[in-house]
């Protein structure tokens, strides 16, 4: 059961204290409070966990500061939509607003290699007015002898260069909970010049202990990759682990499914399910065409398959694109063959913006 409070409820008021006391008095029920900072207003939701069948809904609705009460189905309790279209969705992080109505591009390095390449990437993004990027420091690799990422040693220059170029959010995968501390410490040490969206990679989709650790912290939002070999339902339940621990600032990312049917692409592109996740949950949805397609092959129209796939995701309503770029792909230490080049950045930005506009046009065609 979810108790939705009036927006901008003052948590120091006596009315709020009275409501909280009444809820705390419910026998066998645990409370979990979620504060969602939307663009305009702050929304507080209190989750009643336990056997809520016997609770008198009307009684709760009549408590002070309560706007309404929602009985939720079992699935995706916090992240789910539960047929309530009025619930605020999305979040603001470091002045960037993420929701099922926004669009952001996260173009950047699959793996950080040198400060020079980070600088070139970020300078190009800044010149194009971009405030988000991707930078891999901790890389999960199939082969233990492959480059594993520079880890915490590259964080100081990545964060400082981000600050220098006005980058506000960096998507960065973490593969162990200690990485959250390393990122936090380095941000503090460098004066918080930028922000980080913690990425859960497809190989860790069901690493429940990592999910719990990432969910327990509420400083960083999370970019959650769909598991490449499990059902959509299993991936959505895994994302719910983050929220159940307290962090509902989650973006759900499609990155293709491991399946021979996708060949010659690296994975089977699954962006047709973008609207499904938007319908079942309140999460903003991202597509990663680089790890889905995995090569620079192009169609006879001269447009790369990666670009076509990203376009398909955006035209279907995706809210974010995560894409690999590299200033010199042959020198890239990870995933060079799928990297776009900096000379392609401005065309890519224009194409994606056009696709997002086209989605908005499509939406208005079907509006009434
Ligand atoms: C990545 O984005 O760098 C990555 C490793 O992606 P995935 O987890 O989808 O393979
Ligand atoms: Mn990669």
Kindly tell me the sign of the dihedral angle through the C-alpha atoms of 268, 269, 273, 278: positive
Tell me the C-alpha distance between 199 and 252, whole Å: 10
Q: Among 17, 52, 85, identify where a domain stops.
A: 85
Domain that holds residue 53: 2-85
Indicate if ligand 1 lies below 6 Å from the C-beta of 202.
yes
Indicate if ligand 1 lies below 6 Å from the C-beta of 255.
yes
pLDDT attached to residue 35? 84
pLDDT attached to residue 41? 82
Judge whether 14 lies within some domain: yes
pLDDT attached to residue 19? 95
Ligand 1 atom at minimal distance to the Cα of residue 111: 3
Domain match, 266 and 361 both = yes
Ligand 1 atom at minimal distance to the Cα of residue 334: 3
Domain match, 45 and 121 both = no
pLDDT digits (tens, 9 = 90+) for 197-240: 999 999 999 999 999 999 999 999 999 999 999 999 999 999 99
Domain match, 302 and 234 both = yes
Domain match, 208 and 342 both = yes
Cβ 279 vs Cβ 250: under 8 Å:
no
Domain match, 74 and 122 both = no
Ligand 1 atom at minimal distance to the Cα of residue 200: 8
Number of neighbouring beta carbons within 10 Å of residue 148: 16
pLDDT attached to residue 75? 85
pLDDT attached to residue 154? 98
**Which ligand ends up closest to the CA of 337?**
2
Tally of domains within the chain: 2
Query: To test the ligand 1 pocket, which listed residue (110, 137, 142, 306) has its Cβ within 8 A of the most ligand atoms?
Result: 110
Domain match, 77 and 107 both = no
**161 CA to middle of ligand 2, Å?**
21
Domain match, 119 and 52 both = no
Q: Among 85, 112, 136, identify where a domain stops.
A: 85
pLDDT digits (tens, 9 = 90+) for 2-46: 999 998 899 899 999 999 999 999 999 999 888 887 777 888 999
Tell me the C-alpha distance between 255 and 249, whole Å: 19
Protein residues placing their CB within 5 Å of the ion ligand 2: 110, 335
Judge whether 95 lies within some domain: no
Residue whose CA lies nearest to ligand 1 atom number 8? 201
pLDDT attached to residue 72? 84
Judge whether 236 lies within some domain: yes
CB proximity list for 83: less than 8 A, separation 6 or greater: none
Q: Among 85, 120, 151, identify where a domain stops.
A: 85
**201 CA to middle of ligand 1, Å?**
5
pLDDT attached to residue 37? 75
Cβ 312 vs Cβ 289: under 8 Å:
no
pLDDT attached to residue 36? 81
User: Which residues of the chain fall short of a pLDDT of 70?
Assistant: none
Domain match, 19 and 125 both = no
Query: To test the ligand 1 pocket, which listed residue (202, 251, 310) has its Cβ within 8 A of the most ligand atoms?
Result: 202
Indicate if ligand 1 lies below 6 Å from the C-beta of 136.
yes
Judge whether 90 lies within some domain: no
Residue whose CA lies nearest to ligand 1 atom number 10? 202
Judge whether 252 lies within some domain: yes
CA 331 to mean position of chain CA atoms: 28
Domain match, 253 and 147 both = yes
**203 CA to middle of ligand 1, Å?**
8
């Amino acid at each position: 059961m979810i108790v939705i409070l009036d927006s901008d409820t003052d948590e120091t008021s006596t009315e709020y204290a009275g409501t909280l006391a009444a809820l705390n008095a419910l026998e066998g029920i645990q409370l979990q409070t979620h504060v969602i900072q939307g663009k305009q207003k702050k929304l507080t939701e209190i989750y009643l966990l336990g056997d809520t069948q016997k609770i008198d809904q009307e009684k709760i609705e009549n408590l002070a500061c309560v706007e309404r009460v929602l009985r939720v189905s079992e699935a995706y309790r916090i992240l789910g939509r539960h047929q309530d279209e009025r619930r605020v969705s999305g979040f603001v992080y470091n002045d960037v607003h993420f929701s099922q109505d926004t669009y952001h591009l996260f173009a950047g390095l699959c793996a950080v290699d040198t400060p020079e390449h980070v600088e070139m990437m970020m300078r190009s993004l800044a010149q194009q007015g971009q405030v988000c990027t991707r930078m891999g420091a901790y890389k999960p690799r199939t082969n233990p002898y492959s480059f594993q990422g520079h880890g915490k040693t590259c964080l100081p220059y990545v964060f400082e260069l981000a600050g220098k170029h006005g980058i506000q959010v960096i998507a960065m995968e973490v593969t162990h909970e200690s990485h959250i501390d390393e990122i936090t410490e380095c941000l503090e040490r460098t004066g918080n010049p930028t922000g980080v969206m913690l990425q859960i990679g497809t190989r860790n989709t069901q690493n429940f202990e990592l999910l719990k650790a990432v969910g327990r912290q509420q400083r960083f939002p999370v970019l959650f990759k769909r598991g490449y070999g499990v059902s959509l339902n299993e991936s959505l339940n895994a994302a719910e682990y983050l929220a159940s621990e307290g962090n509902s600032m989650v973006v759900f990312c499609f990155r293709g499914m491991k399946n021979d049917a996708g060949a010659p692409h690296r994975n089977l592109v699954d962006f047709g399910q973008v609207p499904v996740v938007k319908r079942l949950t309140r999460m903003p949805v991202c597509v990663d065409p680089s790890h889905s397609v995995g090569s620079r092959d192009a169609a006879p129209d001269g447009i790369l398959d990666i670009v076509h796939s990203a376009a398909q995701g955006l035209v279907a309503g995706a809210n974010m694109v995560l894409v690999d770029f590299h200033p010199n792909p042959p020198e890239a230490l990870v995933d060079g063959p799928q990297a776009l080049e900096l000379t392609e950045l401005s065309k890519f930005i224009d194409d994606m913006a056009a696709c997002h506009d086209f989605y908005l046009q499509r939406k208005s065609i079907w509006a009434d």
